[in-house]
Amino acid sequence: MKKIFKANNISCMNCANLIKGSLEDDFGEIVVNLDVKPREVTVEIADESSEKKFKEEMNELGYSVVE
């Protein structure tokens, strides 16, 4: 199911491209909305363990997910 996460520290298209380039192999298509604050990242999440992994990988990239 598609899920929208709100994330801090995403400031520009370069940030969005880093997220997409780093995570799309594991999570499929990722859409980053730069028009809202906090920024929204839409991703296909299969289950709870995938959601946890996504949040951990976002954090490793320097973008904290806020609910």
- Around Cβ 25, how many Cβ atoms within 10 Å? 7
pTM (whole model) above 0.85: yes
pLDDT computed for residue 57 by the predictor: 97
pLDDT computed for residue 67 by the predictor: 73
Give CA–CA dist 34/24, Å, rounded. 18
Q: pLDDT tens digit string along 1-13? A: 999 999 999 999 9
> Spelled out in words, what is the top-level CATH class assigned to the domain 2-66?
alpha beta
pLDDT computed for residue 42 by the predictor: 98
Q: pLDDT tens digit string along 14-62? A: 999 999 999 999 999 999 999 999 999 999 999 999 999 999 999 999 9
H helix or E strand, kind and range, residue 32:
strand 30-33
- Which two structure tokens, joined as six digits, stand for 4? 């929208």
